[in-house]
Amino acid sequence: MKLLVVEDEAKLAEYLRKGLNAEGFVVDVANDGLEGLHLALEGEYDVIVLDRMLPGLDGMALLSALRSKKSTPVLMLTAVGGVEDRVEGLKSGADDYLVKPFAFSELVARLQVITRRGSSLAEKPSEATKLNLADLEVDLVRRKATRAGQPLALTAKEFTLLILLLRRKGEVISRTSLAEQVWDMNFDSNTNMVEVAIRRLRTKLDVPFEHTLLHTERGMGYVLEDRSAL
């Protein structure tokens, strides 16, 4: 599930990125309203976490511009928490409104409700909450992965890595892109962290089964696809 955080407080943005990433979200962060609006309009996100007070373009203006073109669910996360402020936010198109300081578990629960609600309205619940490839199935709500009906015992990072590869199945994803999106690293070191994680995921995902789903494209990256069906 892909999520955009628009938050100008650097420490809070980093806290949200790491926490939501551990919960299985693929997270992009924008640190001002203009960047946030650009990403919100150009990208495809399942939900947006939006601060109200932002440099460049405030959260309410961003929400108004977004609503003129897209219906992406939005949770406003802000220190502006008066009754009139909350009502204004909801009337302006926010799907939920959470006041800082907040409990992280409540934020995650509210995001899950919003995304389920959006899935129901779209009448495509299985597409929003489950991802499939051949005999592999990932339940995003229950955070469970199975192959041929057998549960895969994945760590939180392995689960996030699998979701990213599965959402972009058939597309070669570079080692750098994986490092940035799963580990939040700007990748210019010689660490073999990605290779180790891919090897461990492959051991659980492919080794016990007849057909391989996770492939290495030498010099380019990794791709998840069912080549037995090609």
Identify the bridge partners of residue 221 per DSSP, sorted by sequence position.
217
Is residue 123 predicted with pLDDT exceeding 50? no
Which pLDDT score is estimated for 200? 95
> What pLDDT is attached to residue 147?
95
Find the domain containing 11 and state its range. 2-119
For residue 157, pLDDT over 80 is answered with yes
Give the pLDDT band of residue 125 (cuts 50, 70, 90). Answer: very low
CATH number for position 78: 3.40.50.2300
Alpha helices in the chain (DSSP H): 10-22, 33-42, 59-67, 83-91, 104-121, 125-129, 156-167, 175-183, 193-205
Question: Does a structural domain hold residue 229?
Answer: no
Model confidence at 118: pLDDT above 90: no
Give pLDDT, residue 219. 85
Answer with the one of 119, 153, 184 that is the final residue of a domain. Answer: 119
Q: Is the same domain home to 9 and 114? A: yes
SS3 assignment, position 191 = coil
Which residue did the predictor score with more confidence, 124 or 78?
Answer: 78
Domain end (from 87, 119, 151): 119
| Predicted local confidence at residue 121, as pLDDT | 52
Mean pLDDT across 66-79: 91
pLDDT of 113 strictly over 90: no
- Mean pLDDT across 136-162: 90
- Whether residue 173 has pLDDT greater than 80: yes
The more confidently predicted of residues 185 and 105 is 105
Integer Cα distance of 175 and 44 in angstroms: 22
Q: What is the pLDDT at residue 175?
A: 84
Q: Is the pLDDT of residue 189 over 70?
A: no
pTM of the model: 0.59
* Together in a domain, 145 and 38: no
C-alpha gyration radius of the chain: 19
CB-based contact 60:201 (threshold 8 Å): no
Domain CATH for 186: 1.10.10.10
Q: List pLDDT tens digits, range 15-56.
A: 998 888 777 788 899 999 999 999 999 988 989 999 999 999
Q: Which one has a higher pLDDT value, 108 or 191?
A: 108
In the prediction, which pLDDT does 126 show?
44
As for how many domains the chain has, the answer is 2
* DSSP at 228: G
Q: Are 164 and 189 members of one domain? A: yes
Residue 211 has pLDDT above 70, yes or no: yes
Domain boundary among 91, 119, 147: 119
d(CA 169, CA 214) in angstroms, rounded, equals 10
